[in-house]
């Protein structure tokens, strides 16, 4: 895998690198990051050839956008692809009700998939980022809001695309079934699937990925470590944002054993596995330090024999 290879997203003019940087950790996910380290992380990604950066208002309740913005705004705009998300507005009060953001202040995120809410969210994201546009906008986690997300948010994004204010319409979720429903509307150019096409959870391949391949809707794969278990399988490691069960840990260790027999680091297999499906265009990896970015790029470049995928299919 060449992490710096650029590919076009379906019928759009938007291009992404095979490896993209997920900026969620820079919002202080579970542990503080700090301003200097956050900016150094984005800078390192640029230096190593990553040109695709994904963020959201929800990440640190605006903090990730504010931290990444000054670096992204200083890069050649036509050489980078920036995606952010709509469906949550950052508002005062409540603090970190989710318990995920270690550096959250007096702001919280509230759901709003209305047309007006989408336009407000986009405007406020651009203000935090210091940019005049995003290339991709994802409808973010509309699990309990399908009617408003499909009936108001999605058409509003299509209007932004028609007006040249964004390059691609997408939806980003931790589930595959509703993403398939979004694809069937014919309004999305791509989708972001988190945690559902990984070495431990291949449920995205049941319906969504074949549908996307059939309709020419590229998939951006995220959550490839399933929150951390596939990066470092150990007791207490997170799996989908909860401590892994004994059974989940045992599966991850079994996958690591197969990888080690082939001389391949588990992290390398986790990053590269989604690209074994033709519908997947890019893989997003979150990082909270320049060292983690460098490691992700190294893992993306590790040669992987086809027999590893076959052996994993047979043994896990």
Q: What is the CATH number of the domain that holds 229?
A: 3.20.20.100
Statement: the pTM of the whole predicted model exceeds 0.75: yes
Please indicate, yes or no, if residue 277 is contained in any of the structural domains: yes
Cα–Cα distance measured from residue 78 to residue 72, given in angstroms and rounded to the nearest whole number: 11
Please indicate, yes or no, if residue 1 is contained in any of the structural domains: no
Cα–Cα distance measured from residue 165 to residue 285, given in angstroms and rounded to the nearest whole number: 26
pLDDT at residue 296 greater than cutoff 70: yes
The number of folded domains in the chain is: 1
**Secondary structure of residue 312 in the 3-state scheme:** helix
Cα–Cα distance measured from residue 14 to residue 81, given in angstroms and rounded to the nearest whole number: 7
Cα–Cα distance measured from residue 279 to residue 219, given in angstroms and rounded to the nearest whole number: 6
Q: Which residues are known catalytic residues?
A: 54, 59, 85
Please indicate, yes or no, if residue 250 is contained in any of the structural domains: yes
Q: 48-104 pLDDT, tens per residue?
A: 999 999 999 999 999 999 999 999 999 999 999 999 999 999 999 865 656 789 998
Q: Domain residues for 133?
A: 6-315
For residues 170-191, one letter each, b for 16 or more C-beta atoms within 10 angstroms of the residue's C-beta and e for the rest, the string is bbbbbbbebbbebbeeebbbbb
Is there a contact between 81 and 15 (Cβ–Cβ < 8 Å)?
Answer: yes
**pLDDT band at residue 106 under the 50/70/90 scheme:** confident
Please indicate, yes or no, if residue 50 is contained in any of the structural domains: yes
């Amino acid at each position: 895998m060449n992490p710096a290879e650029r590919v076009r997203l379906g019928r759009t003019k938007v291009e992404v690198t095979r490896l993209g940087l997920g900026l969620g950790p820079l919002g202080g996910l579970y542990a503080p990051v700090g301003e200097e380290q956050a900016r150094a992380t984005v800078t390192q990604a640029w230096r190593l050839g990553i040109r695709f950066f994904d963020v959201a208002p929800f990440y640190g309740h605006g903090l990730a956008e504010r931290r990444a913005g000054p670096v992204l705004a200083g890069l050649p705009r036509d050489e980078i692809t920036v995606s952010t998300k709509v469906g949550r507005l950052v508002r005062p009060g409540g603090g970190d009700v989710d318990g995920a953001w270690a550096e959250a202040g007096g702001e919280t995120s509230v759901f709003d998939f209305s047309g007006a809410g989408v336009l407000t969210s986009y405007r406020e994201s651009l203000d935090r980022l210091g940019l005049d546009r995003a290339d991709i906008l994802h409808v973010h986690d509309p699990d309990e809001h399908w009617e408003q997300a499909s009936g108001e948010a999605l058409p509003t994004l299509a209007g932004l695309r028609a007006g040249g204010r964004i390059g691609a319409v997408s939806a980003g979720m931790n589930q595959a079934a509703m993403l398939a429903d979004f694809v069937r509307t014919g309004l999305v150019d791509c989708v972001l699937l988190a945690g559902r096409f990984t070495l431990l959870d291949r449920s995205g391949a049941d319906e969504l990925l074949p549908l996307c391949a059939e309709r020419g809707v590229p998939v951006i794969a995220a959550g490839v470590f399933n929150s951390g278990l596939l990066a470092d399988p150990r007791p207490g490691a997170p799996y989908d944002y909860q401590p892994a069960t004994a059974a989940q840990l045992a599966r991850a260790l079994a996958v690591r054993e197969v990888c080690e027999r082939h001389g391949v680091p588990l992290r390398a297999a986790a990053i590269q596995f989604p690209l074994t499906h033709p519908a997947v265009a890019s893989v997003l990896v979150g990082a909270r330090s320049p060292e983690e970015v460098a490691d992700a790029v190294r893992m993306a470049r590790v040669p992987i024999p086809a027999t590893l995928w076959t052996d994993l299919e047979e043994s896990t």
